[in-house]
Amino acid sequence: MSSYYQRPSPESRAELIKARALSLGFSKVGIIPAVSLSTEHERLNEWIARGYHAQMAYMARDPEQRANPRRLFPEARSVVVVALNYYTAAQHAEHTGTGKISRYAWGDDYHEVLGDKLRALLQWIKEQWPEAEGKVCVDIQPMMDKAWAVRAGLGWMGKHTNLITQDFGSWVFLGELLLNLELDYDKQEIADQCGSCTLCIDACPTGAIEEPYLLNSQKCISYETIESRAESIQPEISGRLEGWLYGCDICQDVCPWNHVSVTTDEPRFQPRA
C-alpha cells in the first residue's frame, strides 16, 4: 500500500487561512499579492505636498515604504488583510459637563487586541506550513491600512477618508499579515457606494474634509486632540470642539452606513468605567 503527501494548492491554503482568521474573531478578511500600491503612493505624496499631514512628520518619512510591503518584509508575497468590528451599543453622555472620547478608545488598546489575533494566526499558519514566515502589522508599521483593505475587497474609501464596509460600516480596526507564501488572491474590489451623500463633509464643524476623499489634518479635531504636539489647540478649532476631548467621531456618527451597526463580539472593546 503506497501513500504520498500532496502539497496543498494556493487556493486551499488561502481558504484555510481565511477560515482560521474568522474563527479567531476577525470580522472580515481578504488576501492580495504583496505588490507596490503605485496609485495610492501618488495620492499620499500629493497629500504630503499640500502639508495636510501637519506635524505628523513620520508620514513624510520614506512614503514609498508605506506603499511597498517588500520594503518592510522583503520575503513578502501575500498580504492577509483583516478588519475587526469595534462598535458597542453604549452612547456618549450628551451633557455639557462630560467630555467625549472617540469610540475607538473606549475599550482595550486595539493594537494589542489585533496584534494578539494576528500573531495567533501567524503561529497557526507556521504550524500548518513550516516554511511560512510572516510579519504582523497593526497601525504602527508603515502600511497604508485603508488602501490595502480597499484592494482586498473589504470595503471602499468613504468621503471622510475612513474605510466603509457593507457589514459593519466604518467601525472597524484594520491590520495586515505579510506572508512569504504564494496564495490564491481576492480580485473583486467593492465599488464606492457613497453616491451623492455629503453628510460627513457637511457635519464636520471645522471643515477638515476639504473636498470628498481629502482630509486636512490641520483642521481635524482628532488630529488636534491626539496627534498634535502644540502647547494649545488652534483658536479656530478650540471653539468648535463640540465637547470632544480625545478624537472625534462626528463624520462616522452621521454616516448612513453606520446607522444600523452590529455590536462587536470582542469583549475587550466594551467601554471601561
- How many other β-carbons are positioned within 10 Å of the β-carbon of residue 115? 17
Nearest-10 crossing angle of helices 110-128, 10-23: 140
Examine residue 272 and state whether it is found in any structural domain, yes or no: no
Report the Cα 229 to chain-centroid distance in Å: 23
Positive or negative, the CA dihedral 75, 114, 261, 99 is negative
Q: Where would I find the H helices in 68-197?
A: 69-72, 110-128, 145-151
Confidence band (pLDDT; 50, 70, 90) for 7?
low
Examine residue 104 and state whether it is found in any structural domain, yes or no: yes
In the predicted model, what is the mean pLDDT of residues 105-112?
97
Count up the domains in the chain and report the number.
Answer: 1
Residue range(s) defining the domain that contains residue 212: 10-187+194-267
Residues 6+ apart with CB under 8 A from 55: 227, 228, 229, 230
Q: Where would I find the H helices in the chain?
A: 10-23, 38-49, 57-60, 63-67, 69-72, 110-128, 145-151, 199-203, 221-222, 235-238, 250-253
Confidence band (pLDDT; 50, 70, 90) for 4?
very low
Active-site residue, selected from the candidate residues 108, 139, 192, 253 = 139
Examine residue 224 and state whether it is found in any structural domain, yes or no: yes
Instruction: Indicate the pairing of strand 156-157 with strand 134-137.
Output: unpaired
pLDDT digits (tens, 9 = 90+) for 35-60: 999 999 999 999 999 999 999 998 98
pLDDT value at residue 100:
94
Examine residue 273 and state whether it is found in any structural domain, yes or no: no
pLDDT value at residue 8:
59
Examine residue 1 and state whether it is found in any structural domain, yes or no: no
Examine residue 138 and state whether it is found in any structural domain, yes or no: yes
pLDDT value at residue 178:
98
In the predicted model, what is the mean pLDDT of residues 193-216?
97
pLDDT value at residue 3:
46
Does 222 score more than 80 pLDDT? yes
Element (H, E) at 88: none
Does 96 score more than 90 pLDDT? no
Examine residue 3 and state whether it is found in any structural domain, yes or no: no
Nine-digit cell string for 45: 505624496
Closest CA to 222 of 202, 249, 203: 249
Catalytic-residue membership of 139? yes
